[in-house]
């Protein structure tokens, strides 16, 4: 089955740029979606189809996907961006279909 690999944690100072990666075999051929989850809250979609943003999501959130790595980039990081971030793909080649990465804890220093 398809596996998505994320770093457990990423730390960044306020105002800097955070990059959270999501690795998978030829992930560039798939569409990748990203969710933000703050403690005690439900996940929120922040990027879909590699690089599109839902309405209401700041332009500071962007995504890219190529080769074996997809990346969520958060520019001008704010304290309120501290959260867990999960990548997700649809894998029709397996019975699982929906695959999530293990999640990355973003810490704002």
Structure-block tokens of residue 94: 């397996």
Determine the interface stretch with other proteins among 10-18, 61-69, 70-78, 83-91 (rule: CB under 8 A): 83-91
Asked if 53 is part of the footprint of other proteins (rule: CB under 8 A), the reply reads no
Nearer of residues 40 and 80 to other proteins, judged by Cβ: 40
Do residues 63 and 85 lie in contact, with contact meaning Cβ atoms separated by under 8 Å?
no
Q: By CB under 8 A, name the one of 30, 63, 83, 106 that touches other proteins.
A: 30
Do residues 50 and 70 lie in contact, with contact meaning Cβ atoms separated by under 8 Å?
yes
Q: What phi, psi does 78 have (nearest 5°)?
A: -115, 160
Q: By CB under 8 A, name the one of 27, 33, 71, 77 that touches other proteins.
A: 33
Which residues, including other chains, have CB under 8 Å from residue 57's CB and lie 6 or more apart? 45, 46, 47
Residues at the contact surface with other proteins, assessed by CB under 8 A: 30-31, 33, 35, 41-45, 48-49, 54, 86, 88, 90, 92, 95-103
């Amino acid at each position: 089955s398809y596996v998505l690999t994320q770093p457990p944690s990423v730390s960044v100072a306020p105002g800097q740029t955070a990059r959270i990666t999501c690795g998978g075999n030829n992930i560039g051929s798939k569409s990748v979606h990203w969710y933000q989850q703050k403690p005690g809250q439900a996940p929120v979609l922040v990027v879909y189809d590699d690089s599109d943003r839902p309405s209401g999501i700041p332009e500071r959130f962007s995504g890219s996907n190529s080769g074996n790595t997809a990346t969520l980039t958060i520019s001008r990081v704010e304290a309120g961006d501290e959260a867990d971030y999960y990548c997700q793909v649809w894998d029709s080649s397996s019975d699982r279909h929906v695959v999530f990465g293990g999640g990355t804890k973003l810490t704002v220093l």
